[in-house]
Amino acid sequence: MTALPQTFSALSDPVRFAMVERLLAEGELPAGRLGEGFDISAPAVSQHLGVLREAGLVNRRARAQQRLYSIRPEGLLAVANWADEARRFWEASLDRLEKVLGKEAKKNE
């Protein structure tokens, strides 16, 4: 599994975020199309796509002279599990906090 910090940080860049959005909207696309609309060089596009691949967010395959990119669902879905763990921790903690404050309220009555 790809490390979450890498996944989150890959998505925190506006260009990469937009590339992921584009792939979600349009499916598989060649690198050239993914760079359209951004004022960046071809090497910069490749670099962004490299970061997304390393973060496990996109897949790449070759077709003739083209490199085709698509979304790797596991990468983004892994992010979704993050909040489950946070919720369990805080719900349990706040239940205990409620008990601590509840005991005090009783004592003061």
Partner 1 sequence: MSDIAERTELTLERRFKAPVDRVWEVVTQPETMVLWFGHDGWTMESHDLDFTRPGPWYAFMRSAEGNRFDVSGAVTEVSPPRHVAFTWAWHDALGARGHESRVSFTIAPAGDVTVFTLHHTGLPDAETASSHAGGWAAVLARLERQFTD
φ/ψ of 23, rounded to 5, equals -65, -35
Stretch that binds partner 1, among 19-27, 33-41, 44-52, 61-69 (CB under 8 A): 19-27
Report how far residue 70's alpha carbon sits from residue 58's, in angstroms, rounded to the nearest whole number: 5
Residue 37: how many other CB atoms lie within 10 Å: 10
Segment 61-90, which members bind partner 1 (CB under 8 A)?
71, 73, 76-77, 79-84, 86-90
For partner 1, which stretch binds (CB under 8 A), given 13-21, 29-37, 39-47, 58-66? 13-21
Q: Would you tell me the crossing angle of helices 4-11 and 73-108 to the nearest 10 degrees?
A: 100
Binding site for partner 1 (CB under 8 A): 3-5, 8-9, 11-14, 17-18, 20-21, 24-25, 71, 73, 76-77, 79-84, 86-102, 104-105
